[in-house]
């Protein structure tokens, strides 16, 4: 199986061209694909800037090869971007998911696959969680549409991808042959792609890391506060990292994702601790600021991690209420949940992390 008409460059149309939705096109454009970037209603400035300068406004980098394979569209021009498209990319963040599902899936043609970069899980009640691509599948099926949804997991920050730092990711979806065809568009000497049909497992592992990366960053803020300067200690970060991996393995089991996916979760956790926004929030909370204060300081910043964290905590609470999960199994998640609910002056529940394996 191959995407694209024979003798013609494959065409990739990105819906929502924030940092990651755009950065993922770097290897594809350099592989010779034609890229159509369609801004979401929030991306007007990015599209205008790209048209004028050939640069991505928020990535702060020029498009590859002088942007020669790129075209730019506003959301109103979407219908012009559709003809000839071989692959759509859903490039919105969690906050754009409702818009993509409600406004854009109805406008997608049958038969053209979608690769989603949006990472997250939805709590569907009673502790049941499903991944974003599953939600998209469900929506399309209800509309009677025939669309295959695939998604990207694994540790990869957008600006480093655009800097061509070697990155290993995983594409997940239902159909091995389709996944291989999509990989062929992106695989390069700095973008390495594993494939998996365990959609739930891949998405669950990489979504959970958002919440837990926030938790690990708390230790940085605690260290700053104790030292009275920006000095990091790593024992406490590593203790939280280990506890995060422990709880993520338990959550993977609840989500019925394969346990091998912890490999993805751990790598993604690592890169997210060094990422920008989640880390900044964790540090502020670790320094003792309330969630309200921290949000004020980080005004204007998209805090996707808090949405994921709050949702996961809510799902786990539901599981606990139903007697299906043991509250003592998720002390770190509950601590993060309490901080996001506005509590201050609470210590990391270190002793709750202790275990006895006899």
Q: Return residues touching a copy of itself (CB under 8 A).
A: 154-157, 160-161, 163, 165-168, 176, 192-198, 219, 222-223, 233-239, 241-243, 245-246, 249, 258-260, 262-264, 266-268, 270-271, 274-275, 348, 350-351, 353-358
In order of 154, 202, 225, 291, 342, the CA distances from 207 in angstroms are 10, 9, 29, 21, 22
In order of 15, 105, 107, 135, 154, the CA distances from 138 in angstroms are 19, 11, 15, 5, 24
SS3 348: coil
SS3 84: coil
Count the Cβ atoms, other than its own, within 10 Å of residue 6. 5
User: CB 290 → a copy of itself: shortest distance, Å?
Assistant: 22
User: CB 37 → a copy of itself: shortest distance, Å?
Assistant: 22
Residue among 138, 133, 258 nearest 205 (CA): 258
DSSP character at residue 325: S
58/85 with CB nearer a copy of itself: 58
101/273 with CB nearer a copy of itself: 273
96/155 with CB nearer a copy of itself: 155
Residue among 18, 52, 53 nearest 37 (CA): 18
Tokens of 26: 């770097």
Rounded CA-CA distance 277/303 in Å is 7
User: CB 170 → a copy of itself: shortest distance, Å?
Assistant: 8
Task: Quickly tell me which residue has 């109103």 as its tokens.
Answer: 76
261/306 with CB nearer a copy of itself: 261
User: CB 138 → a copy of itself: shortest distance, Å?
Assistant: 23
**Sequential DSSP letters for 137-183:** HHHHHHTT----EEEEESS--HHHHHTT--EEEEEE-S-HHHHHHHH
User: CB 201 → a copy of itself: shortest distance, Å?
Assistant: 9
Q: Are 210 and 305 in contact (CB under 8 A)?
A: yes
39/153 with CB nearer a copy of itself: 153
Q: Are 17 and 38 in contact (CB under 8 A)?
A: yes
User: CB 104 → a copy of itself: shortest distance, Å?
Assistant: 28
168/297 with CB nearer a copy of itself: 168
118/236 with CB nearer a copy of itself: 236
User: CB 257 → a copy of itself: shortest distance, Å?
Assistant: 11
Phi, psi values for residue 72, rounded to 5°: -125, 135
User: CB 326 → a copy of itself: shortest distance, Å?
Assistant: 15
239/310 with CB nearer a copy of itself: 239
């Amino acid at each position: 199986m191959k995407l694209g008409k024979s003798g013609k460059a494959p065409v990739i149309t990105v819906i929502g061209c924030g940092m990651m939705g755009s950065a993922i096109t770097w290897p594809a454009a350099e592989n010779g694909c034609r890229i159509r970037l369609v801004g979401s209603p929030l991306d007007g400035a990015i599209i205008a800037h790209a048209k004028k300068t050939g640069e991505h406004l928020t990535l702060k980098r020029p498009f590859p090869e002088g942007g020669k394979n790129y075209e730019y569209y506003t959301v109103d021009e979407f219908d012009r971007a559709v003809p000839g498209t071989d692959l759509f990319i859903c490039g919105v963040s969690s906050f754009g998911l409702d818009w993509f599902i409600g406004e854009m899936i109805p406008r997608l043609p049958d038969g053209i696959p979608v690769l989603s970069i949006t990472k997250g899980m939805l709590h569907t009640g009673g502790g049941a969680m499903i991944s974003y691509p599953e939600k998209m599948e469900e929506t399309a099926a209800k509309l009677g549409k025939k669309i295959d949804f695939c998604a990207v997991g694994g540790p990869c920050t957008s600006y480093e991808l655009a800097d061509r730092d070697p990155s290993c990711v995983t594409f997940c979806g239902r159909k091995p042959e389709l996944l291989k065809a999509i990989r062929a568009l992106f695989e390069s000497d700095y973008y390495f792609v594993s494939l998996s049909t365990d959609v739930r497992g891949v998405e669950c592992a990489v979504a959970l890391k958002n919440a837990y990366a926030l938790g690990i960053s708390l230790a940085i803020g605690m260290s700053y506060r104790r030292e009275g300067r920006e000095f990091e200690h790593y024992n406490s970060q590593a203790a939280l990292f280990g506890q995060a991996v422990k709880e993520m393995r338990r959550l993977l089991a609840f989500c019925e994702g394969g346990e091998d996916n912890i490999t993805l979760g751990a790598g993604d956790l690592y890169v997210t601790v060094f990422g920008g926004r989640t880390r900044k929030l964790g540090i502020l909370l670790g320094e003792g600021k309330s969630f309200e204060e921290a949000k004020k300081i980080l005004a204007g910043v998209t805090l996707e991690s808090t949405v994921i964290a709050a949702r996961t905590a809510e799902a786990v609470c539901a599981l606990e209420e139903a007697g299906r999960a043991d509250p003592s199994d998720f002390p770190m998640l509950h601590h993060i949940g309490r901080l996001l609910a506005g509590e201050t002056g609470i210590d990391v529940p270190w002793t709750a992390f202790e275990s006895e394996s006899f």
